[in-house]
Amino acid sequence: MGNYLEEVIKIANENASASPGEDITSAEKYFQVLIEKDNKIQKIFEEEEKLILEEQKLVKQLKDEQLKSTVQTFYDSLEDYIISTKNNFLVWKI
- pLDDT tens across the length of the chain (94 residues): 456 666 666 666 665 555 555 555 666 777 777 778 888 888 888 888 888 888 878 877 878 888 888 888 888 888 888 888 877 776 666 5
H-run or E-run covering 93: helix 65-93
pLDDT at 1: 46
pTM: 0.45
Sign of the alpha-carbon dihedral angle for 84, 85, 90, 93: positive
* pLDDT score of 5: 61
